[in-house]
Every structure is written in structure tokens, then in C-alpha cells.
């Protein structure tokens, strides 16, 4: 049976699309390639909410995260400032990507890392929790043996909150 021109064009389009998948995922984030590469390889981000006057909060944190190619997810104590800030409508945040140890002891070195502005929201969908926690498990496989059940249980009982940060560029 001969291949039609329509089938040939479909195969060619599919092949082209498969070759562009990594570029499409990067473009969807609107982040520079270097920042995406750093997000993919780093174990930590440094995060601070932005106050209503546009200044950074004094509360910074180095924190584990999951990156799904589009958004950055953080699981935080529900009473932590970053979770409270979003509940209070302070949804803007600044995120630096890299590993510099404790933010207070880093003497601001994290500020030289790739950074971006983000809009935060509380992620309450249990299906999304499971998807993102699986990303955490893949990323922090050894630590996840202990922390995975803690994160899952505390998301269910409300002592932790999942935050989604959408990059803004």
C-alpha cells in the first residue's frame, strides 16, 4: 500500500515536533535557556515574597523545589511567611536559582544567580499534589525516603501547603 502525500506530511510534521519538544518546553516557561538549565540541575532555589510596596520581604529562604518545565513548586509549612503572603494577596515573588547554602550565611551570593519574578498561588488540587510530589521524589530520591511521607501527610492534614510559582518575564 502506497503512502499518501498527507501521511508523508503528517510523519514529517511529527518528526519535526518531536525534535522541537525540548525547545517548546523551554519556550513555554518564557525563561532564558540558562535559567531553565540551572533550574533543571539545582537542588535549591532562594525565594522571597514581594511586599505591596514592591520591596523584597526580609524573609528569604533556600528551599527544595520541583520544576515541571513550566512552573516552580514549593511545599512549605502552612504558617510560613511565603504561604501566608499568598493567602494575604501578596502573590509576587523573586526567585534565584542555585546552591549557596543557608541564605543568611551566603552573604548575598545567591543574588548573583539566575533570577526571575514569579506569581505565586496556592495549589490545592490533590491530583496535582501527587504529580508534583512524584517530581520531588525523582529529584531528591535519597532524601525522599524520609521526607516523601512527611510531605504527603502534612499536605493532607493542612500543616503544609503547596505553592505554585509561575515565571513572569
Per-residue pLDDT tens for 81-103? 899 999 999 999 988 887 765 66
Q: Verify that 75 and 152 share a domain, yes or no.
A: yes
Assess whether pLDDT exceeds 60 at residue 149: yes
Give strand ranges (E) for the chain: 45-49, 61-63, 66-67, 72-77, 92-97, 115-123, 160-168
**Greater model confidence, 3 or 78:** 78
Q: Verify that 55 and 109 share a domain, yes or no.
A: yes
| Mean pLDDT value across residues 143-161 | 96
pTM score = 0.77
The count of residues in the chain is 169
Q: Verify that 3 and 38 share a domain, yes or no.
A: no
Q: Verify that 40 and 122 share a domain, yes or no.
A: yes
pLDDT digits (tens, 9 = 90+) for 37-79: 888 888 988 888 888 888 877 776 678 999 999 999 999 999 9
* Residue owning grid cell 514549593: 74
Per the structure, the complete domain to which residue 10 belongs is given by 1-30
CA dist 29 to 67, 131, 167, Å?
Answer: 10, 18, 7
**Greater model confidence, 143 or 110:** 143
pLDDT at residue 6, rounded to an integer: 43
Q: Verify that 7 and 42 share a domain, yes or no.
A: no
pLDDT at residue 29, rounded to an integer: 56
pLDDT at residue 134, rounded to an integer: 96
Looking at the structure of the chain, the number of domains it has is 2
**Greater model confidence, 87 or 15:** 87
Amino acid at each position: 500500500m502506497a503512502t499518501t502525500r498527507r501521511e508523508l506530511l503528517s510523519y514529517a510534521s511529527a518528526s519535526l515536533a518531536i525534535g522541537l519538544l525540548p525547545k517548546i518546553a523551554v519556550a513555554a516557561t518564557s525563561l532564558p535557556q540558562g535559567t531553565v538549565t540551572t533550574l533543571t540541575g539545582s537542588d535549591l532555589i532562594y525565594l522571597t515574597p514581594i511586599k505591596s510596596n514592591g520591596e523584597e520581604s526580609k524573609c528569604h529562604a533556600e528551599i527544595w523545589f520541583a520544576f515541571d518545565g513550566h512552573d516552580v513548586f514549593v511545599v512549605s509549612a502552612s504558617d510560613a511567611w511565603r504561604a501566608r503572603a499568598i493567602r494575604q494577596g501578596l502573590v509576587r515573588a523573586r526567585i534565584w536559582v542555585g546552591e549557596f547554602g543557608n541564605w543568611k550565611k551566603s552573604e548575598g551570593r545567591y543574588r548573583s544567580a539566575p533570577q526571575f519574578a514569579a506569581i505565586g498561588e496556592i495549589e490545592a488540587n490533590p491530583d496535582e499534589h501527587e504529580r508534583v510530589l512524584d517530581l520531588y521524589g525523582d529529584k531528591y530520591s535519597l532524601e525522599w525516603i524520609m521526607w516523601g511521607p512527611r510531605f504527603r501527610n502534612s499536605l493532607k492534614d493542612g500543616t503544609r501547603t503547596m505553592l505554585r510559582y509561575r515565571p513572569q518575564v
